Structures are given as C-alpha cells and as structure tokens.
Structure 1
C-alpha cells in the first residue's frame, strides 16, 4: 500500500499542473465534474477514510436516479468514504475528463458507469499507472486488457433481453406478431446486450422485429421514436423497449394515436422502476424484466476490499427478477425504487 500511495501522490502532483491550465470552468464543461460531497476533514477519519471518485452516465431515467441515490446514500462520511461525484450528461468525453481529475486528486478508488463500451483503454491505463484501482458499475467496457479494472458490478444484460424474449415467445408465438424495438443509447452495453438477448430468444418463432431505433433510454425520445413507428407501420403488435422510460414514452404515443397500450399493442420493458411497475399494474405494460439499480452497498464493499489489497471477483452479477401484472401489484407497496 505504501508504494501505491507514493505513486498516486506523484502523479497527482504532476497532473495538478495540467489541470490548473484548464481553468476553473473545467468542471462545468464536464457536466459538474468531481464535486466533493463528503470531505474527510468534515467528518471522515483521516487515513481510514476512502476517497472515491464516481462518474455517473447522467440522469436519463428513473433507473439512473435510483442508482445515483443508492451510491450517494451509501458512500458517505459516516460509512468511511469521501465521495467525489460527477454527472457525465451522456458524454464519454465528460467521463474521461472526470476520471483524469480523480487521478489528479489522488483518490483511492475510481468507479464509473461507462456511457459506451469502447474507447476507455488510454484513460484506464493512466489510472493503472497511478496505482488507482477502477471499479465498473452497471455497464462493462469492451477491452482486451481486463487488468485495467478490478471488478464489474451489475446485471447480465444479455440475460435480461433473453428473459424478455422468452416471455414474448411463450405468450405470442404462433400469432405472427410484428415487433418494434426501442433501443438504448447506441454503443452502450445494455443496448447491445439486450438487443442480442431478445433476438436470440425469439429466433425460430414467428415474432418478427420489423424496426429498431434508439430512444437513448429517455421517455421523451421513446415517445418520439414510437410516434414515427406508428406513422410508418399499420400493424405493430408488440413494443420491446430496452428500459421502462422509453416504454412509458411509447405508451404516451400509443394513447395519443387513439389506441390502448397493453391491449392493442403489447409492451415489454426492462428496469422495473416504480413508474414502470405502476404502468404494468394498470395493464398498460404487459411484462417487465428487472434491472436492480441499488448497487451502492456492493460498490462500498468492493472499494473497501481493493483498498485493503484483498482479492475480489472480476464480475459480480446482481440478481434480477421479472414481473407480470399480478406480480407488479403485489410488489408495488414495498418497492424501494
């Protein structure tokens, strides 16, 4: 640990000069990069406090809001953490800038949820050279060098897509359903993997994906894309949305077109946040596969272990469930997110 700390301090000192040249507006350019939320001198315990920098994708959905809250509520001074948090506003360049600022600060751990899968090797190599362990949360990176990060914590997105597709095949195979797909952010791990999983599950059935476009995981864009689908096609039977928010946007478009969501057009989504679960309970969504956003406790545990020099699992997959209308009605009263 002593050698690692010395390395971080040396790189921090050198990087600080470069960061100074960027000027005081760099945090605004990075979407509010590296804002400390629990400085050690205000309640931490000196050397026992773990300084951790976290770069979030953005605030594009209810799921993301729940994920951020879990991290901020867990990585507190009371729990032994000094958290610096940044919102990348869906831009990879903002996350890269945030990670470099955390390296300059000499934090003990860097964690982030990557906007997209590729393009991370250079900045992760910088963190590795500085002796700072990196933990990936929610989304993975596409890199041939898995020594650039200590661990990944999140869901199996391919499995989520498969679960959605298997239910669709079980319910609707033989009915010749025409399916439209609302994809997540292009190039992101959940968009790539959920698409793959769903397509694999319906292969060999008579369900056909007739169109697939990105709605960037947002309700607004999900509605806009669905409006376009409804203008283009007269015979849409099923919507597969990569998250609840895009599915909720699709509901608005379907209702505006004078149709009944969940009946005239079936809807399957992924996430299981409260708004989505309420729509499922109301019959406007037909099936939801869960993606658990409460990753704060897992991240805290991994951060403590890597700082202590302990071995950690390379891939930690959280358990996800699935809900039909009856299960949603039962789960809603005690739902945490």
Structure 2
C-alpha cells in the first residue's frame, strides 16, 4: 500500500514520513514535522476526523495549525489513522470500528513518538472522531502521561440532533444493503451512477451549487448535519473539499449510532476478548484521565451540537479533580474550526494558550 502524499507546502520545515503500523499490523501514516534547525521542542500529536486526513492541519492556502505550532516552538506529529482518506481502508480492505482506533492506532502512535522524543512533553490536539477515539484510549489507561489534550467538536459525550440520529439509523438499515460507502466527489461517480439520488437529496435547499459542498455542508454524507459554516472557508479550500474529505463507510454507522444513543463513547465489541482492554463505557472511567483537557467547539456546530458544553458539565460534576475547560468559538461550525480561513486568528490562539500554560 502506498500512502498518498500530503498536499502540504511548508517553507523551511522538514516533513518526515515514518513507516508505521498499528498494533494489529495495519499500515497507517505518521508524519513528523521538524523546524529547519533541530531543537528539543514539546511534541504535539494531531488527530484528524473520520474520512479527513492530516491535510486538514496543513492547508497551504491558509495559515494552518502546523505552521502555528512550529512558530510557537512545538514539534507537530500527524497520525493518519485508519479512517484517513490518504489510506484505502474506508473503501477497500478490512473493516474496522472505533474500538480499533482507540486500541491499536492511537496508543501505538504515542509509544512511537515517545521513543523518538525521549522525556519531552507530548500533547494531543484531536478533532471529531479522532477526539472520540482518544477519549476511549485515555479512559482505558492506554496513553497515560500526556501533557495536555485539546478536543475539538466532541469528546466523551457525543450528542447528535434527533433528525441526524434518525437519518443515521435509516442510512444504516436501508442504504447498507446497496452501498458500502457514500462518496463526496460527484465528478468521480458521474451523473448516471447509483449515487446520483443521494447527491440529489443533499442538494435540496442548498445555497451552494457544488455537489461536494452540498453533501458535506448540507447533508454530512446523508445524515442531515452540517460539517462547517460555508462562509468561513477560503475559496481554494472550498474548491478542493473532495481532496480533504473522502468517502464515508456505511458499515461504521452501527458503532456510531450506539455511541450517539448512549451519549458516551462506548465499546462496540462486547464479546471479543481482544478488546477487553477498552472499557464498555469511557465516561464511567473518566477518572483515568490524568492531564488537563481543553474542550473546544464552534457555536454553530451542526454535527455534534453542544456536546462539548455537556462534556464540560458532566466532567466537572463527576470528576472535580480534573482540570477541564470549555471554550466556545463564536460563528464557527465543526470542521471550519481547523480549515476555516480565519481559524488561525479565531481558534488557534485558544489552543496555543492552553499548550503554553502546560508545556
């Protein structure tokens, strides 16, 4: 398997792709970004959302997360876990659940980074399903000793709108018999494909004429949510959304539906001894979280609603010893908190302030 190259352009920095496999042997992507001069910097592990990739932190058309971390004295590490669109596993190859990400992908990446950086601090900045999976890894005690965690969009207490949960259930039961995944690039599937009705449904009431934007911003792969505030995107970012987000596998929906119904990150594999290291319910083991946590969400998060505010309320009530904070970003949705044209001004400062306090 050949990992698709990153779309990054970073002046004066060295991008090092690491041959890397998860603990179950699956080939993943792990990228280290060094400044021009080697320094002993705190490291930051960046975790993307499902069907996205590390490209979301490296947008060349905006001031991106990696550039900001480098300028502030950090060494970014980017994990393309098995849900990355730089990898083929969403469309071909073995199927997986988020249990695999929490048990095999994230802990292996953390161990590898620690072998490379020695005793330097290691932070994690995670988005969406990357943050959900990280919460399960932390609740299982598989990634102890992080210097701090920033979770964007959702963390331990996922909360979907009722219509989104209903459409997710319908998609899981009705569409999975016909499709393995929902694509986002209409140019690849063509007008006469079996996916055309899905794109047609996504276009209903949409303000943007672009089919990829419609199925992402107006529909979120058919579940009726919105992934970003449209006006927050740079024109170049908007035009290459099909590069930044890949097809959504429908066979993952049962686990996602169980998570949404529980309003907690829960284990999918109940009777498989390979997954016994993971708790059945991550929220019940939140006392294993041993580092400060910053919860971030846009005020217009159309995917996970006020999940982060709920998480803050639950954690401060149940785990008063935990250093947990909540920051809401006015005018932002979900994905645009990282890929928005103004994210460096409106969002990244909150992240850096938190990291600098604990470095």
Shared fold (TM-score, shorter chain, > 0.5): no
The structure where helix makes up a greater share of residues is 1
Q: What is the TM-score normalised by the length of structure 1?
A: 0.41
Greater RCO (Cα-Cα under 8 Å, separation 6 or more): 2
Structure number with bigger Rg: 1
